[in-house]
Structure formats: C-alpha cells, structure tokens
Amino acid sequence: MDEYFTLKQQASDEYVVKHSRFISYAVPVQTQDEAVAFINQVRAKHWDAKHNVYAYVLRDGQIKRYSDDGEPQGTAGMPVLDVLLKEELTDCCVVVTRYFGGILLGGGGLVRAYSHSAKLGVDAAQKIKMALCVRAMCECDYGFYGKLSGMIPDAGGTVEAADFTDKVSVTFTMPQNLYDGFCAAVFDASLGKVSPREVETLFAEAK
C-alpha cells in the first residue's frame, strides 16, 4: 500500500434529533491502545451519558472494531463503522455519545442518527491522504539554495528544515514515486554538484 486515507486532527461536532443529543468525536490513531485510550477518555468525560458508541479501523493487523454500547444490535456501532469504511478511512477512531431525549427513534432512526453524527465528526476532523514518501537531505552552496528551495515544492515535496553553515543542508520529504525524477532534475540543474541523499521512507500527508 503506497497511500491511504486518515484524519488530519482530533475534532468533534454534535446535533440534536427528537431531543436526543448526539456528540461525535473523531481522532487519528495508529494502535489499538491509542484507540482504546481515546474511547475511555470520552467515556470518562461523558460518564452520565446513556451510550458511548464507537468504531475504529487500523492499518496494522487490518483491525476493525465497533460497539453498540447498549443500543439495539446493529443500530449504532456498525453504522459508525460503515461511515469509516465508505470514506475509505483507516488509522482513526470515532466515538458518538448519546444523551437520550425521552423519545424513541426506532431502529431506522438510530441508524440514521449515528451515521449522520459519525459523518459530522469525520468532516470536522478532515480527511487527508497519506502517501509513501522519502525523507532526504542534500547540501548545496548558498548560490543554489534559492533555486533548490523552489524546486522542492514545485516537484511535489515539502521542505522540513534548512541548516545554514558554510553550506546549506536542506531536509525535505517527497512522494516516493516522484523522488527519482526530482533527484535527476537537481543533478542536472546543479551541473552535477548537488545530489539528494535518502534518509528514510515514511508516510506523510500528500499535497
């Protein structure tokens, strides 16, 4: 897998239907421990709520988990999980807290309410694409730095840091599929004087 979708940040949103209050929380996570810790955090915050429904999906182990937390089977946790799957999201967790308003919503009403609430949370947390990238470093003289600092973003990369000593050391990330072509362009533009050096591969947000 060279790319995947996840959430940019932790966020929340809420809405009310027939006096029942639904509060959704969405967060990026990378492990089951992180997901469980987040679920417990929301439960502690809303200890007085009737239900704290959750779902999470992880790349590591292809894990998918959900809980109805006392709601009728199939009316809460699965609809929340379905939102994550339809959005093709992974490495994320959504918890939907419900404060019962005294009016029964029925099975179909619960499914719609939990689905809608989960989507609100996901939208607030912002869906992003993560791509397999190369983190690299290259050294150049001050005369070439201005050109290099423009070439990196133009080629789809991101400058992470620049260290100025007798030369300039630039650290950047770039999608793996673009890296070789970029290295060739830098080599040509510098007349063979500058050549990026790969440090590691990692997943980073795609531009």
pLDDT at residue 42, as a whole number? 97
Tell me, yes or no, whether 141 and 190 share the same domain.
yes
pLDDT at residue 101, as a whole number? 85
Q: At which of 71, 102, 125 does a domain end?
A: 125
Tokens of 50: 């009737």
**Counted domains in the chain:** 2
Q: Which residues form the domain of 68? A: 3-125
Tell me, yes or no, whether 40 and 78 share the same domain.
yes
Tell me, yes or no, whether 62 and 143 share the same domain.
no
How far apart CA 46 and CA 77 sit, in angstroms, is 17
Mean pLDDT of 169-187: 95
pLDDT at residue 2, as a whole number? 83
Tell me, yes or no, whether 145 and 46 share the same domain.
no
Q: What is the mean pLDDT of the chain?
A: 95
DSSP β-bridge partners for residue 64:
57
How far apart CA 205 and CA 128 sit, in angstroms, is 7
Tell me, yes or no, whether 144 and 77 share the same domain.
no
User: For the whole model, what pTM was predicted?
Assistant: 0.84
Residue 104 clears pLDDT 90, i.e. is over it: no
Mean pLDDT of 3-12: 96
Tell me, yes or no, whether 109 and 66 share the same domain.
yes
How far apart CA 134 and CA 86 sit, in angstroms, is 29
Tokens of 54: 């959750």
pLDDT at residue 1, as a whole number? 66
How far apart CA 27 and CA 35 sit, in angstroms, is 9
Tell me, yes or no, whether 18 and 116 share the same domain.
yes
Residue 102 clears pLDDT 90, i.e. is over it: no
Tell me, yes or no, whether 114 and 34 share the same domain.
yes
